[in-house]
Amino acid sequence: MNKVKIIAFDADDTLWINEAYYQEVETKFQALLQEYLPAKDVSDELLKTEIQNIDKYGFGAKGFILSMIETAIKISQNKVSTKVIEEIISLGKSLICKDIKLLPNVIETLSALKEDYKLIIATKGDLLDQTRKIKKSGLQKYFSHIEVMNNKYENNYLKLLKTLNISPEKFLMVGNSVKSDILPVISIGGNAIHIPYSVMWKHEVAENVNPKKNYKTISNLSELITLLKIKKQ
């Protein structure tokens, strides 16, 4: 950690609440389709559709809306009403229009770290959706670079490091997803800190993770200050 010059933060569920809103919408989606399948089966079918559509739509609210519509048509065998489709679209729009609620200690932590490190956002998702959320968060002033990635594989991080003109050992990624924020970064020789969040999209759950992998887990963003030996401002 003593070589770190740049700290990258994931956005959704690292800086602000996100997945909980998706789960609220999914619960309402289940209720709309309860005449066709039990709630769990509706969610299972939706997840399958979302995964199949990632290469087409990427990540984010718009892809989620399209996947809900496709799932509704599929499990109803084309019998779903236009009224239900309209309600699904309305649910999706409500998701896009959600206010941004910062997680605890975000501003205090960013303020302290900004004195000694270059801070950036490295998030994945729809460019328009993520840009909108970053603007609504009011956090732009803390970051010197914002990267919205179409995915978070090793090659995506290598491309980011090339853009930043920095070597992996000087790069630290902070995020809530072991699968997307942690494992790819340590695989290319970078540093990573995992901050678990209370809810997680099933597709982001990492399986068969070696507990000896070279990364740290902390419970709160403010612990970064102590970990990196920075005094609170």
Mean predicted confidence (pLDDT) in 57-67: 88
- Residue 204's pLDDT is what? 53
- Residue 60's pLDDT is what? 83
Domains of the chain by residue range: 6-16+100-227, 19-96
**pLDDT tens-place string over residues 97-131:** 899 999 999 999 999 999 899 999 999 888 888 99
**pLDDT tens-place string over residues 156-174:** 999 999 999 999 999 999 9
- Residue 233's pLDDT is what? 43
Which CATH number applies to 19-96: 3.40.50.1100, 3.40.718.10, 3.40.630.10, 1.10.150.240?
1.10.150.240
Mean pLDDT over each residue of the chain, to the nearest integer: 89
pLDDT band at 205 (very low <50, low <70, confident <90, very high): low
- Residue 126's pLDDT is what? 85
Mean predicted confidence (pLDDT) in 182-195: 94
- Residue 232's pLDDT is what? 45
Mean predicted confidence (pLDDT) in 44-69: 90
Q: How large a percentage of the chain has pLDDT more than 90? A: 73
CATH code for 6-16+100-227?
3.40.50.1000
pLDDT band at 208 (very low <50, low <70, confident <90, very high): low
**One fold for 6-16+100-227 and 19-96:** no
Q: How far apart are CA 175 and CA 3, in angstroms?
A: 19
